Amino acid sequence: MNILVVEDNYVERSNLVRMLKSLDIDIKIFEAITGEEAIKTLEQETIQLVYSIQISILKNNQKP
């Protein structure tokens, strides 16, 4: 499973990624800081799950 974590806060993003990796399941984690990075990843990779603290980041391509 490919998971995309979209979060501009480094600490929150790192904590979530660390927690996901500790689950010991077959996952590949992609990280994006901005909506632009997220869109680029979505265009290049097959992602099954997207986690974003604010969906508006993806829609408006702006930081909160």
Q: How many angstroms separate the Cα of 45 from the Cα of each of 9, 60, 63?
A: 23, 21, 23
6 pLDDT higher than 60 = yes
3-state helix, strand, coil split of the chain in percent (to 5) is 45, 20, 35
Domains of the chain: 2-60 (3.40.50.2300)
Query: What average pLDDT score do residues 55-63 get?
Result: 51
Give the model's pLDDT for residue 61.
Answer: 54
What CA–CA distance (Å, rounded) separates 47 from 56? 19
pTM summary value: 0.76
Identify the DSSP state of 54. Answer: -
The predicted-structure confidence for 13-44, as pLDDT tens digits, reads as follows 899 999 999 998 999 999 999 889 999 999 99
